[in-house]
């Protein structure tokens, strides 16, 4: 693992800091499902711990009672485990530290570094100043330690209404960094918390709680995204003010968040898609959530590989989603068995084949081998796309009078095209070259195209869900607020397909390559009576083209 965070860790170790070992954390707020952006942070934090022989905690950063829910606490754990990481017995909740946070706030007051302010939220905002103008001190700023202690105790006891008072750090209203202009560190909120119930009426602000959570857990390197860079001075100020030793206390390091083209990595927007019914749920295979990607058939190995390849940078950029798909394709190319399925069936009658069935041997995987039987019959289906009546010269699939090889079977020749009254092609009549199958006298005959097929009699019906990008735009970095308008109307296309019978007893989560069509996974909607597949990713080139080279 070579990245700048690792470099910082090595510098710290060389400088004699953190002699007890390296300790990181992944700190999700349980207010939504994890998405591909979180995967980057999970891989980085757990990866740094693994690489340095250290530990990584899972910490639910649940200091905001109004937006959080246990549903998310459960799903987050499932998703991290699925990605392949283990927090051991170190699952923590920031809300378990509410008592300690309170004590630290009292300590700040005692040191003359915090005060209770009666200004309204509105007034605090207008007193704060701007980037070019210094802020103004609150008239309550110079309350005595005794008065502050008394008021803060009474805030906790519920003597004041919501929003009527706050506790603020006492730093510098003229600081060029607005985050240092006496930030609010506690507010009064009468809300039921999913973990602590109604125990607390005052809640700490994120910037106050986070450094303390890190310090309480003995975190050494607190890795977060770039938008917190301007908050780092307060992080350091707080730990310094409370007397934490600079050689052992945590330090914050910021890295660039992951943004991907054609999708969304904002929890708020993903929630909107779910709540307003634009997708079928958090695990809709079009969603960039980890549960969505899992259902879509993306593998943990591919996602970890992707996170490693994109690296860790100090400036934001947008990664092409095609790179993630590339990682998935590489993984599935090695692991998925090959089968044949037809998405848009066109019937072909092989007029020189008898009724009955011939079982042909088909290879499961080009590298791993293995084989199965595929039933071959007088009537088969091919994909409509593989036939063209007025075909251009370069069309190497089936055309009137032309020949093509049926994968694992015979060379066939198209003799007759049957149409309905509307002039649409409904059936082809072909003949096989009986000696052209593997091992036969004309097996080696050069034929440019090879197509897939299934037996009409033995094929299983299957619902196949084809997915396209969630967003039609690739400008995710500066997406308009109205991203709903950019949703791709064709992101889901459902096909009633036919698939070879070897997959009959398959299980949800099993991957296949449908020859020439892409990688597919069995969806959990599958029942004993109905197979359902999701397309994971397409193949880069069609099988026929790859063969040609
Ligand atoms: P919120 O706005 O609700 O805070 P969030 O996406 O930051 O949303 P958190 O639960 O706070 O969600 O995130 C947990 C961790 O994952 C944080 O350390 C955060 O920095 C990191 N993270 C979140 N989104 C990304 C992303 N797109 N790329 C990399 N890391 C991310
Ligand atoms: Mg966050």
* Average pLDDT estimate for 393-405: 96
Q: For the domain 341-452, what is the CATH code? A: 2.40.240.10
Residue 29: active-site member = yes
If you classify domain 4-255 with CATH, what class do you get?
alpha beta
Q: What is the C-alpha separation between 468 and 471, in angstroms, rounded? A: 9
State the distance from the centre of ligand 1 to the C-alpha of 200, rounded, in angstroms. Answer: 26
Which residue, judged by its Cα, is nearest atom 23 of ligand 1?
A: 38
Task: Specify the pLDDT at position 477.
Answer: 47
DSSP letter assigned to residue 30:
S
Task: Specify the pLDDT at position 432.
Answer: 98
CATH topology classification for 267-337+462-548: 1.10.1160
Among positive and negative, which fits the CA dihedral 430, 434, 440, 444?
A: negative
Q: What's the distance, CA 318 to chain centroid?
A: 15
State the distance from the centre of ligand 2 to the C-alpha of 49, rounded, in angstroms. Answer: 21
Most informative mutation of 5, 29, 306, 477 for ligand 1 (most atoms within 8 A of CB): 29
Contact call for residues 218 and 212 (beta carbons, < 8 A): no
3-state secondary structure 385-440: HHECCCCCCCCCCECCCCEEEECCCCEEEEEEEEECCCCCEEEEEEEEECCCCCCC
Using alpha carbons only, what angle is made at residue 235 by residues 234 and 241, rounded to the nearest 5 degrees?
80
Which member of 29, 107, 308, 385 is catalytic? 29
DSSP letter assigned to residue 246:
T
Residues of the chain with CATH 1.10.1160.10: 267-337+462-548
pLDDT band at 547 (very low <50, low <70, confident <90, very high): very low
* Average pLDDT estimate for 429-446: 93
* pLDDT 10s digits, 219-262: 999 999 999 999 999 999 999 999 999 999 999 999 999 999 88
| Region of poorest pLDDT, from 55-59, 286-290, 392-396, 412-416 | 392-396
Which residue, judged by its Cα, is nearest atom 13 of ligand 1?
A: 28
State the distance from the centre of ligand 2 to the C-alpha of 224, rounded, in angstroms. Answer: 8
Q: What is the C-alpha separation between 357 and 192, in angstroms, rounded? A: 68
Task: Name the burial class of residue 241, with classes exposed (0-12), middle (13-18) and buried (19+) by CB atoms within 10 angstroms of its CB.
Answer: middle
Q: Which candidate, 532, 511, 507, places its Cα nearest to that of 521?
A: 511
State the distance from the centre of ligand 2 to the C-alpha of 99, rounded, in angstroms. Answer: 22
pLDDT at position 548 over 80: no
Which residue, judged by its Cα, is nearest atom 29 of ligand 1?
A: 257
The residues with which 318 forms a beta bridge, in sequence order, are: 259
Task: Specify the pLDDT at position 96.
Answer: 96
Task: Specify the pLDDT at position 71.
Answer: 87
Task: Specify the pLDDT at position 474.
Answer: 52
pLDDT at position 438 over 70: yes
Containing 93, the helix (H) or strand (E) segment is strand 91-93
First to last CA, the chain: 37
pLDDT at position 526 over 90: yes
Task: Name the burial class of residue 50, with classes exposed (0-12), middle (13-18) and buried (19+) by CB atoms within 10 angstroms of its CB.
Answer: middle
Which ligand is the nearest neighbour of the Cα of 290? 1
Task: Specify the pLDDT at position 195.
Answer: 87
Helices (H) and strands (E) in the chain, counts: 13, 27
Q: Which candidate, 416, 437, 425, places its Cα nearest to that of 350?
A: 416
pLDDT band at 194 (very low <50, low <70, confident <90, very high): confident
Q: Which is it for strands 221-225 and 202-204: parallel, antiparallel or unpaired?
A: unpaired
Which residue, judged by its Cα, is nearest atom 18 of ligand 1?
A: 224
Which ligand is the nearest neighbour of the Cα of 313? 1
Which ligand is the nearest neighbour of the Cα of 31? 1
Residue 384: active-site member = no
The residues with which 24 forms a beta bridge, in sequence order, are: 56
Which residue, judged by its Cα, is nearest atom 5 of ligand 1?
A: 267
CB atoms closer than 10 angstroms to residue 324: 27
State the distance from the centre of ligand 2 to the C-alpha of 225, rounded, in angstroms. Answer: 8
pLDDT at position 412 over 50: yes
Q: For residues 94, 99, 101 and 107, what is the CA-based torsion angle, rounded to 10 degrees?
A: -170
Task: Name the burial class of residue 334, with classes exposed (0-12), middle (13-18) and buried (19+) by CB atoms within 10 angstroms of its CB.
Answer: exposed
Residues touching ligand 1 (Cβ under 6 Å) are 27-29, 31, 37-38, 40-41, 224-225, 257-258, 265, 267
DSSP letter assigned to residue 200:
-
* Average pLDDT estimate for 5-23: 97
Most informative mutation of 25, 37, 224 for ligand 1 (most atoms within 8 A of CB): 37
Task: Tell me the two tokens of residue 547.
Answer: 């063969």
Residue length of the chain = 549
Which member of 40, 170, 251, 267 is catalytic? 267
pLDDT at position 337 over 80: yes
pLDDT band at 540 (very low <50, low <70, confident <90, very high): confident
Which ligand is the nearest neighbour of the Cα of 318? 1
Q: Which atom of ligand 1 is nearest to the CA of 224?
A: 20
Beta strands in 97-217 (DSSP E): 114-117, 166-169, 184-188, 202-204
Containing 223, the helix (H) or strand (E) segment is strand 221-225
pLDDT at position 497 over 60: yes
Most informative mutation of 24, 25, 28, 259 for ligand 1 (most atoms within 8 A of CB): 28
DSSP string, 262-288: TS---HHHHHHHHHTTSSSSTT-TTS-
Task: Specify the pLDDT at position 479.
Answer: 60
* Average pLDDT estimate for 100-119: 98
Q: Which candidate, 273, 275, 272, 269, places its Cα nearest to that of 285?
A: 273
Q: At what angle are helices 145-157 and 98-110 packed, to 10 degrees?
A: 160
Task: Tell me the two tokens of residue 393.
Answer: 């010269």
pLDDT at position 117 over 90: yes
Question: Distances from the Cα of 167 to the Cαs of 70, 207, 366, in angstroms?
Answer: 29, 13, 67
Beta strands in 446-501 (DSSP E): 450-451, 453-455, 460-467, 492-499
Q: Across all residues in the chain, what is the average pLDDT?
A: 94
Which ligand is the nearest neighbour of the Cα of 268? 1
Which residue, judged by its Cα, is nearest atom 25 of ligand 1?
A: 37
Which member of 17, 128, 257, 495 is catalytic? 257
CB atoms closer than 10 angstroms to residue 218: 16
Q: Which is it for strands 55-60 and 91-93: parallel, antiparallel or unpaired?
A: parallel
* Average pLDDT estimate for 53-67: 92
Residue 257: active-site member = yes
State the distance from the centre of ligand 1 to the C-alpha of 460, rounded, in angstroms. Answer: 44
Model confidence, pTM: 0.93
State the distance from the centre of ligand 1 to the C-alpha of 360, rounded, in angstroms. Answer: 52
pLDDT band at 545 (very low <50, low <70, confident <90, very high): very low
pLDDT at position 315 over 70: yes
State the distance from the centre of ligand 2 to the C-alpha of 72, rounded, in angstroms. Answer: 14
> 315 or 377, which is more confident?
377
Which residue, judged by its Cα, is nearest atom 22 of ligand 1?
A: 38
State the distance from the centre of ligand 2 to the C-alpha of 288, rounded, in angstroms. Answer: 17
pLDDT at position 478 over 70: no
pLDDT band at 544 (very low <50, low <70, confident <90, very high): very low
Q: Which atom of ligand 1 is nearest to the CA of 225?
A: 20
Task: Tell me the two tokens of residue 431.
Answer: 């003949």
Most informative mutation of 36, 41, 261 for ligand 1 (most atoms within 8 A of CB): 41
Contact call for residues 412 and 359 (beta carbons, < 8 A): no
| Region of poorest pLDDT, from 309-313, 314-318, 385-389, 499-503 | 314-318
Contact call for residues 465 and 518 (beta carbons, < 8 A): no
Q: What is the C-alpha separation between 414 and 387, in angstroms, rounded? A: 10
């Amino acid at each position: 693992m070579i990245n700048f965070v690792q470099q910082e860790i090595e510098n710290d170790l060389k400088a004699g800091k953190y002699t007890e070992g390296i300790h990181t954390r992944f700190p999700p707020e349980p207010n939504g499902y994890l998405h591909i952006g979180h995967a980057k942070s999970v891989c980085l934090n757990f990866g740094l711990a693994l690489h340095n022989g250290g530990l990584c905690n899972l910490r639910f950063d649940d200091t905001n009672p109004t937006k959080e829910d246990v549903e998310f606490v459960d799903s987050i754990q499932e998703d991290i485990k699925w990605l392949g990481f283990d927090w051991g017995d170190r699952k923590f909740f920031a809300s378990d530290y509410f008592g300690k946070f309170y004590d630290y706030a009292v300590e700040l007051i005692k040191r003359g570094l915090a005060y209770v302010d009666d200004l309204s939220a509105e007034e605090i905002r207008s007193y704060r100043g701007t980037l070019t103008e210094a802020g103004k001190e609150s008239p309550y700023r110079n309350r005595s330690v005794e008065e502050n202690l008394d008021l803060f105790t009474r805030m906790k006891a519920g003597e004041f209404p919501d929003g009527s008072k706050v506790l603020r750090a006492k730093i510098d209203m003229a600081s060029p960094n607005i985050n240092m202009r006496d930030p609010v560190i506690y507010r009064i909120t009468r809300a039921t918390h999913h973990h602590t119930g109604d125990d607390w009426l005052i809640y700490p602000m994120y910037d106050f709680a986070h450094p303390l959570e890190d310090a309480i857990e003995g975190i050494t390197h607190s890795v977060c995204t770039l938008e917190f860079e301007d908050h780092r001075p307060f992080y350091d100020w707080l730990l310094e003010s409370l007397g934490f030793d600079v050689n052992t206390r945590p330090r914050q390091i910021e890295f660039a968040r992951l943004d991907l083209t054609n999708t969304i990595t904002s929890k708020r927007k993903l929630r909107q898609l779910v709540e307003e019914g634009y997708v079928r749920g958090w695990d809709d295979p079009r969603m960039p959530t980890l549960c969505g990607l899992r259902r879509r058939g993306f593998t943990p190995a591919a996602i970890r590989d992707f996170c490693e390849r994109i690296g860790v940078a100090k400036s934001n950029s947008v990664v092409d989603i095609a790179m993630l798909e590339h990682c998935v394709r590489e993984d599935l190319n090695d692991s998925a068995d090959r089968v044949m399925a037809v998405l848009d069936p066109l019937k072909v009658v092989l007029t020189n084949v008898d009724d009955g069935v011939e079982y042909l041997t088909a290879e499961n995987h080009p590298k791993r081998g293995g084989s199965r039987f595929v039933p071959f019959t007088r009537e088969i289906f091919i994909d409509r796309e593989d036939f063209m009546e007025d075909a251009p010269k370069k069309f190497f699939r089936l055309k009137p009078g032309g020949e093509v090889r049926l994968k694992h079977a015979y060379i066939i020749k198209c003799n007759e095209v049957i149409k309905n009254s509307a002039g649409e092609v409904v059936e082809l009549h072909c003949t096989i070259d009986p000696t052209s199958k593997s091992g036969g006298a004309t097996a080696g005959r050069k034929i440019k195209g090879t197509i897939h097929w299934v037996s009409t009699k033995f094929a299983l019906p299957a619902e196949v869900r084809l997915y396209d990008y969630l967003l039609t735009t690739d400008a995710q970095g500066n997406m308009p607020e109205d991203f709903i308008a950019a949703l791709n109307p064709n992101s889901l296309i459902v096909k009633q397909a036919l698939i070879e019978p070897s997959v009959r007893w398959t299980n949800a989560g099993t991957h296949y390559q449908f020859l020439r069509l892409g990688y597919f996974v069995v969806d959990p909607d599958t029942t004993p009576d109905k197979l359902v597949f999701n397309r994971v990713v397409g193949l880069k080139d069609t099988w026929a083209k790859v063969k040609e080279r």
